[in-house]
Homo-oligomer: A and B are copies of this chain.
Amino acid sequence: MKKLIIATQNKNKFQEIKVLLAPLNIQCLSLNDLNWKEEIIEDGFSFFENALKKAKTIAKFYNLPTLGDDSGLVVEALPNLLGVKSKRFSSEGTMKANNEKLLKHLKNITNRKAYFISEIVLYYPNDKYYHYIGKVFGEIAYDYKGKNGFGYDPLFIVKDINKRMAELNEEEKNKISHRGKALKKLIEDIKNEVVII
């Protein structure tokens, strides 16, 4: 069976990606499976740069095709906050502290428009790579709802669906989420032999 590394130490993210790639009959390995211990510093100015750095570092080290993902929340009214720094928005960096800081920053702001974005890079040891992007649009709520997902999911009202991202179950989320959409494009390309693993 062909092997693909998912360059993440985040178990939630690995689980999401693994489920989405299940139909492809590819063995997915996480950095935890490989016992990779170092941190890959996400110091890029764009999601793409970070995804590329993660995927390239690991693909070169293990000599296997590797998928890197970088994602985050972009809030229209706070153009210089969040984005590539979404995970490190608060000094604590926890989900709770990040969400509370976001609510505080938006306290007197009525423009709550936001989107989640995921940029995915599939990198090969020979330096060829493919790049995919997915977005989901919505608004930042004034309170929390829902127990699923992670990150900013309990604050994010998904456009058209009018539910929090955290209210969706895994299957519902994968259908409409930023990461689900980006991965769907990659999966289509693999199925159509546009991309070979």
- Give the size range of A's interface with the partner: 10 to 19
Distance between A197 CB and nearest chain B CB, rounded to angstroms: 15
A192 / chain B contacts, CB cutoff of 8 Å: 135, 181
Query: Contacting A193 at CB < 8 Å: which of B130, B135, B185, B193?
Result: B135
Give the oligomeric copy count: 2
Task: Name the residue on B nearest A182 (C-beta).
Answer: B194
The 12 sampled A-B contact pairs (Cβ below 8 Å) are A130-B131, A130-B133, A131-B131, A133-B189, A133-B194, A133-B195, A135-B192, A135-B193, A135-B194, A137-B193, A181-B192, A185-B185
Asked if A134 is at the interface of the complex by the 8 Å CB criterion, the answer is: yes
Distance between A114 CB and nearest chain B CB, rounded to angstroms: 13
A189 / chain B contacts, CB cutoff of 8 Å: 133
Contact with B along A124-140 (1 / 0, CB 8 A): 00000011011101000
